[in-house]
Structure 1
Amino acid sequence: VRGENMRDAIMDFDYLRGELGSGLGTAAVIVMDKSTDIIKAIWRLSKFYKHESCGQCTPCREGTGWMMRVMDRLVKGEASLEEIDMLWDVTKQVEGHTICALGDAAAWPIQGLIRNFREEIEDRIKAQKSGRFGAVAAE
C-alpha cells in the first residue's frame, strides 16, 4: 500500500481489508522509503515463496515458479504490458486453490504491487522498450 494511503490507516484487519484492499497477514509490517525498488522488493518475496513451496499441490508448485519468472522480467523491464494482467490472473488462480496458505501468501504481495504500483511497472516496461532504462538484475 502506498505511504500516503497508510498515513491515517487503522492497523485493523477489517479496515485494511475494506478500505485499502490489503491485510495484516502475520502482522509484520515492511516500511520502505521512496528509494526502494518496489518491483524488485516484491520479486524478492516471490523468490522466497517459490523456494518455500513444498511442491505438493500443482497451483502452488507451478504458480509460484511462474509468478517468480514473470516478476524477474518485470524487474528488468523485459515483460510485455499484457503480462501484468496475465500475472494478476495467475495470482487469482493460485489464491484459494492450494492445500496450505503459502499459495495465498505468494499471490497477495504481487496483487498489491499491481493494484498499487501498476503505473511504475508500466513505466519500467516502456522505458526498457525505448532504451531509457538501465540494466537491473533480479538477484
Structure 2
Amino acid sequence: MASKIRTKHRIFYKRSMCTHIPLSAGFANVWRMTSGKQIGSLVRQLRKAQGMTQTELAEAIGRTMDAVSMIERGNSVPSVETLIALSKALNASIETLLLPEDAQITPARRDKISQGYAVLASLPDDKLLIAVDQLRALARSS
C-alpha cells in the first residue's frame, strides 16, 4: 500500500522502488512512473560515458560509493537532493535522469507547451472547460 506525503501543492505517493515525478513545471497534472532500476541503469550509463568510477561520482555528489552502487543497481531511489547532485555531476538534466528517452521533450516543444499552459491557467473555469474539450477533440483527430 502506498503512503501519502502531503506538500503545500501536491500529494506524492511513496512506494518501494518507484517514484511519481512531474514532467516539468508546465505539466502540473501529468505524471509518469519511473522505476529505481531504470534510474540506476541510466546513472550507470552516464557515469561510464563520463569515464567516472563509482568512487569519483560518490565524491562529486557527496554520497558514499555504496550509495551510488545501490542507486545503480536499483536498490535505492535517489532523493531529490541526490538527483540534483547527480544531474550536475553527470551533466544531464533531471528530466533525462527520470524519464525514458521517448518521454523526453525538446526545448522548443516544452516552450510551446508552457505557453499553452499559461494561456489555459489564465482562463476562467467555464472557458477552461471549453478549451480542454477542444484540446481533447484536436488530440483525437491527429
- Between 1 and 2, higher relative CO (CA 8 Å, sep ≥ 6) is seen in 1
More strand, by proportion: 2
TM-score, normalised relative to structure 2: 0.30
Structure of greater Rg: 2
More helix, by proportion: 1
